[in-house]
Amino acid sequence: MKTLLVFTGGLVLAIIFGVAAMLIFRPNAAQAAPLLETGDTPQRTITVSGQASVIATADVAYITTGVQTKDKRADAALTENNQRVAAVYQTLNTYSIAKKDIQTIGLSLYQQEERDKDGKVVARYYIVSNTVRVAVHDLDKLGKVLDAVVKSGANRVQNIQFSVSDRAALLEQARLEAVKQGKTQAAAIAEAAGAKLGEVQTISFQAMAQPVARGEMVMMAAPKDAGEVPVSGGQMQITATVQMTFALTSP
């Protein structure tokens, strides 16, 4: 997996200011500031945010697919469903999909009634649904896998999600860069204000992963042959945002 781009951005949330060259920061204007006893000096702080993003090519796809069967007899509906699901599993094995990458996420059996225009029941059927989530790590095979599981018996493809397998490492990269960027900002602002950056007082962290949306990106690649569903994973952007509050000291 190749990381294509790392970029940072930040926004200063608050700059300390006050009367008579004192740097005073009130983190929440909605809260009353505590009364200071005579001789007390308010703590001087600065709060900034840092943000960094890593853009990487998706290298794993998660397919939600399954089999739904219908029969007037519950046992017949279940038997047919079992046979078709077994064929789907065999197909996945043919494409070297490991058992650990196949997870059953839904299995149901229920009765369905058909009524005429007068509301009278004219038929009763049993519906059996078996849904699995499949991880495909070789995206070059994804289109063929989708086509093959449908041909082998799957009649439901509910969702496809793309991701990166080493998301934790990419997130760590973005997080460290966001902290570095935020600290650099805080130090520069403190120096400009005639103060020195002290220790971190508080720090909060948020992360987000989402597909990259670009007008020029072709999300549906042309299939290599007629027996392949056209799909493309595109790129994923992993963003880390930190908010940091530092103490300020005299230079």
- Report the pLDDT value the prediction gives residue 35, as an integer from 0 to 100: 46
| Whether 9 and 36 share a structural domain | yes
Domain boundary among 128, 163, 198: 163
- Report the pLDDT value the prediction gives residue 226, as an integer from 0 to 100: 53
Q: How far out from the chain centre does Cα 4 lie? A: 18
- Report the pLDDT value the prediction gives residue 23, as an integer from 0 to 100: 33
- CATH code at position 238: 3.30.110.170
What share of the chain has pLDDT > 70, as a percent? 77
| Whether 123 and 92 share a structural domain | yes
Question: Does the structure show a pLDDT above 80 at 169?
Answer: yes
| Whether 14 and 82 share a structural domain | no
- CATH code at position 139: 3.30.70.2970
| Whether 234 and 149 share a structural domain | no
What average pLDDT score do residues 155-183 get? 92
| Whether 151 and 185 share a structural domain | no
- Report the pLDDT value the prediction gives residue 20, as an integer from 0 to 100: 33
Question: Does the structure show a pLDDT above 80 at 212?
Answer: no
The C-alpha atoms of residue 105 and residue 64 are separated, in whole angstroms, by 9
| Whether 76 and 42 share a structural domain | no
| Whether 34 and 14 share a structural domain | yes
Question: Which of 89-93, 161-165, 225-229 is modeled with the greatest confidence?
Answer: 89-93
Considering only residues 39 and 57, tell me which one the structure prediction assigns the higher pLDDT.
57
Q: Which domain holds residue 150?
A: 60-163
| Whether 88 and 49 share a structural domain | no
Q: How far is CA 220 from CA 106, 191, 216, 229, 233, in A?
A: 29, 51, 12, 10, 9
The C-alpha atoms of residue 142 and residue 37 are separated, in whole angstroms, by 69
| Whether 106 and 47 share a structural domain | no
| Whether 240 and 116 share a structural domain | no
Q: Quick: pLDDT tens for 107-150.
A: 999 999 988 888 888 899 999 999 999 999 999 999 999 999 99
Domain boundary among 125, 146, 163: 163
- If one counts the domains in the chain, the total is 2
Does residue 152 sit in helix, strand or coil? helix
Question: Does the structure show a pLDDT above 80 at 12?
Answer: no
Q: Quick: pLDDT tens for 32-43.
A: 345 445 455 668
Q: How far is CA 36 from CA 25, 42, 199, in A?
A: 14, 8, 23
| Whether 95 and 137 share a structural domain | yes
Pair of tokens at residue 24: 């005073």
Question: Does the structure show a pLDDT above 50 at 22?
Answer: no
- Between 46-60, 101-115, 150-164, 216-230, the lowest mean confidence (pLDDT) is in 216-230
What average pLDDT score do residues 144-161 get? 93
- Report the pLDDT value the prediction gives residue 42, as an integer from 0 to 100: 67
| Whether 87 and 206 share a structural domain | no
Partners of 159 in beta bridges: 64
- Report the pLDDT value the prediction gives residue 19, as an integer from 0 to 100: 31
The C-alpha atoms of residue 189 and residue 157 are separated, in whole angstroms, by 54
